[in-house]
Amino acid sequence: MSSRVFVTGLGIISSIGCNIKEVMEAIYAKKSGISEITILETNYKGKIPVCEVKKLNKELAELAGVSNLNKYTRTALLGIIAAKQAVAYAGIDNIKELRTGVISATSVGGMDRSENFYQSFYKDQNKGRLRDVVNHDCSDSTEKIADILGISEYITTISTACSSSANAIMLGARLIKNNFLDRVIVGGTDALTRFTLNGFNSLMILDATGCKPFDNKRNGLTIGEGAGFLVIESEKSLKISGKKVLAELTGYGNACDAFHQTASSPEGYGAYLAMKKAIEVSGKHITEIDYINAHGTGTANNDLTEGKAIEKIFNNSIPEVSSTKAYTGHTLAASGGIEAVLSVLAIKEKIIYPNLRFTEQINELSFSPTIELLQNKEVRNVLSNSFGFGGNNTSLVFSKY
């Protein structure tokens, strides 16, 4: 049984870059991925901004190193790219040398393809390509990732809305700690779809000018797409592989306040419980948390309730706080994976990310997010929050090793 869990590999693709180098260049340049829709076919082109990966599926297939594009959804392609990056980063040559699993999260699954089938079938029930629906289910992208990586020991998919990737990471850590696996590729992937764009628009929580997390004049979120994966390993695995440690996953906590289908409780009780548990599991004192990578969607409800929960835990010792969703958009099930990668990079690169597009402090809160890119900062512990619909809230603590 391993008492500790280490991060040895990272992979990411998002609207601000197709790999870590490109993403970090955008971070340093304070370049947001919020832009007009160019890839997704929707009536909202030119009306609602999103955070798209500016690559056609054919281009993504080339990056993923796969052929026969008909076998892969956009969700699967994004996931394969990030997962392969993470494995390469960790320097894994023989995936079979240790008990290795894949835990991937997604909320839309293969909907980017099945929407096309529905559109044709709705007009004429004798039309529509069945190959567009066979990859609809959420497990398809996970199985495709596992096949590409050559993993068969343990494969599972998590779909708990916007906390999905964080829950994938937490489950992977628990499997390692309980000696089921030695190494796990964990994270999540989601593609932009008409269904999610229309769904969030029907809730009237999309900002027509782009999200402004933690701003007093925030007016909604910006939907994004992408994937983020980590390689996490046990102490035993490290002794065998000798891999370099990027950070340690020291804490995790999950709580469900079940207050509302799409809104968090007014006082952010679920968020409070998740953060409190994660910090307790990490064994850290609140004063040792140097940075909070907030869920920070830019909606009126989320930012206020998350802010209240942060105040309740940290009192007068609130660390640096920012939301990177002003860079990447809200990538739904992939957000926890993308933000976990960014949290580890904050430790490695000694930086704290700016909360882009912020102008005015929320009236009901006592703090403002960090608005400048802080460099040469000793970042020892990062608290990363991922809060989902239905009140499924998860927090992770990554620590310097």
Give 11-57 pLDDT, tens digit per residue.
Answer: 999 999 999 999 999 999 999 999 999 999 999 999 999 999 999 99
Q: What is the mean pLDDT of the chain?
A: 94
Burial of 285 (0-12, 13-18, 19+ CB in 10 A): exposed
**Each residue's pLDDT tens digit, 366-400:** 999 999 999 999 999 999 999 976 678 999 999 99
Select the more confidently predicted residue: 121 or 74: 74
Q: Which of 274-283, 295-304, 386-395 has the weakest average pLDDT? A: 386-395
295 annotated active-site: yes
Residue 264: per-residue pLDDT:
66
For the chain, the residue count is 401
Please tell me which residue in 162, 211, 256, 285 is annotated as part of the active site: 162
Instruction: Say how far apart CA 155 and CA 145 lie, in whole Å.
Output: 10
Residue 1: per-residue pLDDT:
61
Residue 299: per-residue pLDDT:
94
Which architecture, in CATH terms, is 250-399?
Answer: 3-Layer(aba) Sandwich (3.40)
Select the more confidently predicted residue: 341 or 126: 341
Instruction: Say how far apart CA 61 and CA 55 lie, in whole Å.
Output: 10
247 DSSP β-pair partners: 7
**For residue 161, pLDDT beyond 90:** no
**Each residue's pLDDT tens digit, 325-350:** 999 999 999 999 999 999 999 999 99
Residue 10: per-residue pLDDT:
98
Select the more confidently predicted residue: 18 or 121: 18
Report the sign of the C-alpha dihedral through residues 164, 387, 303, 207, in that order.
positive
Domain coordinates in residue numbering, the chain:
6-241, 250-399
Question: What is the CATH T-level fold of the domain 6-241, as seen in this structure?
Answer: Peroxisomal Thiolase; Chain A, domain 1 (3.40.47)
Q: Which of 47-61, 251-265, 352-366 has the weakest average pLDDT? A: 251-265
Q: What percent of the chain shows pLDDT beyond 90?
A: 85
Tokens of 6: 């280490």
Residue 390: per-residue pLDDT:
66
Instruction: Say how far apart CA 386 and CA 280 lie, in whole Å.
Output: 17
Instruction: Say how far apart CA 156 and CA 285 lie, in whole Å.
Output: 33
Residue 146: per-residue pLDDT:
98
260 annotated active-site: no
Asked whether the domain spanning 250-399 has the same topology as the one spanning 6-241, the reply is yes
Tokens of 186: 């964990």
Residue 3: per-residue pLDDT:
86
Residue 65: per-residue pLDDT:
97
330 annotated active-site: yes
Residue 263: per-residue pLDDT:
63
Q: Which residues contact 40 (CB under 8 A, 6 or more apart)?
A: 50, 52, 192, 193, 194, 197
CB atoms near residue 9 (< 10 Å): 25
Residue 134: per-residue pLDDT:
86
1 DSSP β-pair partners: none
Report the sign of the C-alpha dihedral through residues 313, 316, 319, 323, in that order.
positive
